[in-house]
Chains A and B, each alone.
Chain A
Amino acid sequence: TSCLVVAEHDNQTIASSTLNTITAASKLGGKVSVLVLGNKCNGVSDALTKVQGVSSVVAVDHPSLEHPLAEAISPVVAELSKKENHSHIFAPASSFGKNFVPRVAALLDVNAISEITKINDADTFVRPIYAGNAICTVKSSDSFKVGTIRTTAFEKASLSGGSASVVSANDWAAPLIEKSLSETGIKWDSGEIKKSERPELTSARVIVSGGRGLKSGENFKILEELADTLGGAVGASRAAVDSGFVSNDLQIGQTGKVVAPELYIAVGISGAIQHLAGMKDSKVIVAINKDTEAPIFQVADVGYVGDLFKAVPELNDALKKAK
């Protein structure tokens, strides 16, 4: 096999989701080639040459790749796969990968396989369906196996141990990008990415998550304090997002982020199916809720029935002392 991994990055650093995807690609047992599409992203390409398991790095540097538009990157991924005869094309199942991977599959006239959690062999893949209420194994006879990788299902590849080199594909890729952008008439206008001192949700070791039980956005402060004591991230249920307590990018669940930290503390979250789908692979789950019957307790390793406004600050104090 020969797998092409499309790297997620911000032109400066490799996103950790790329490292999970490289591990998934390595499971196939063949070569792993990484494609870096960006603007002034040499640092990312160079860092990827050293990642464990990477056989080669192809870089495309173009001003219009400052933001990864599906229209710009899909034709390049499809063309490179044909040129280099890759059998597999993987990208992380993040908003980056989900956006362009099916477009690549269509250009190659093959299926896409979303959110792969396990690779049985070169043709057979496992993925959750119905929000994780069923697990589906699929077998592909397509000429290219194109898929997104659920990052929480694979370890991160080590940042050292590799010795690949970078090949530039600018000469043939730039005209493809320019053609597709003019054909589709798409433009990136603006963006607002929230900068946080806390770790990113999908790679955090600890997550403290709040639901409707928090009653207001201001009350999330007690969760932030607990998260900071534990060096963790703050998440939320869909109910909390829909109630306007916190922004959508904190949402954990089937339609939000899928996480699997070492420790997940669910506070004031009842445990709707759609939320459980996003966090039930966490190693240890602690639930704090005043409703004894809340379904979250069925999946929690440690369940505390009581008032969260009392329990969370107490827990925070106790953990500070225990340190």
Chain B
Amino acid sequence: MKIFVPVKRVIDYAAKIRVRPDKSGVDTNGVRMSTNPFDEIAIEEAVRLKEKGIAKEVVAITMGPKASEEVLRSSLAIGADQGVIVNTDKPLNPLSVAKLLQKLAETEKPNLIIMGKQAIDDDCNQTAQMLAGLLKWPQATFASKIEISESKDSVKVTREIDGGLETLSMKLPAIISCDLRLNEPRYAKLANIMKAKKVQLTTKTPEDLGVQLNENLKIVSVEEPAKRSGGSKVTTVDDIVASLKKHSLI
């Protein structure tokens, strides 16, 4: 079984977000970048399937500028076998990413694609669903449990939905997007990080794949959110009750 895991390089979850004064976007200069946390969960899950002998090969795929290769190295250090970068400096929206992944999937024929449910930069939560639609494959989003059948031709996925859980059965090939509670990603060992540096990566371009990037959704502005004027403190429980009364909440 071959598994594809798309991974994205994003501003680290712990870094402070600074909006550029010209409102053109968020400042990434000198900001710590890392693998999208949901994608780390996806890599971890794929590597565990390999360690259990269910999967043979885990291919990490990223897209964007050359610096994105970092997240491929991190994925290799966790246990992915191969890294592929679709190299472009142009902005990529989820539709373009899904189309590029579609082309890769059509030639490489993975049995399963596991990816994060959303990237923590644009918070889109779209690529897995779009890719499933383009490939006409079944999808299970927001997965918290993945069980491959013994015959390796189907998968049972438990999904986190509003108000509870549901379980779906899908024939392979299929697409799964990961939620937080699927697993806890391991830390890569130093020896594996060193080994990952030596792996030859595959580089492709959107042109190689014959994909026209979609530019129909343009960013008009990126602004700071409105600030809340909080900060006032009270000393007794009666003060809380009094202010709830003042706000006509009781």
Contacts and interface: CB of A to CB of B under 8 A. Distances in A.
Interface of A: 67, 69-71, 74, 94-96, 98-107, 109-115, 124, 128-142, 180, 183-194, 200, 202, 206, 230, 238, 241-242, 248-249, 254-255, 257, 262-263, 274, 280, 283-286, 297-305, 311, 314-315, 318-319, 322-323
A300 B169 contact: no
Which 5 A-B pairs have CB atoms at the shortest separation, nearest pair first? Answer: A185-B171, A106-B133, A102-B129, A102-B126, A191-B166
- In this complex, the member of B98, B162, B231, B250 whose beta carbon has the largest number of chain A beta carbons within 10 angstroms is B162
A298 B230 contact: yes
Contacts of A255: 118, 179-180
A304 B237 contact: yes
Contacts of A134: 17, 19, 26, 222-225
Given A112-B94, A134-B19, A142-B217, A71 B138 contact: yes
B221 to A, nearest CB: 5
Given A99-B129, A110-B216, A191 B164 contact: yes
B95 A249 contact: no
B129 A103 contact: yes
Nearest to B139: A70
Interface residues of B, number: 79
Majority SS at the chain A contact face: mixed
A203 B249 CA distance: 16
A286 B132 CA distance: 43
Contact of B230 (A69, A193, A299): A299
B133 A129 contact: no
Interface in B156-178: 156, 159-171
Majority SS at the chain B contact face: mixed
B236 to A, nearest CB: 8
B243 interface: yes
A76 to B, nearest CB: 13
B181 A304 contact: no
Given A248-B144, A299-B230, A74 B94 contact: no
Contacts of B134: 106
Given A139-B220, A280-B228, A303-B231, A111 B94 contact: yes
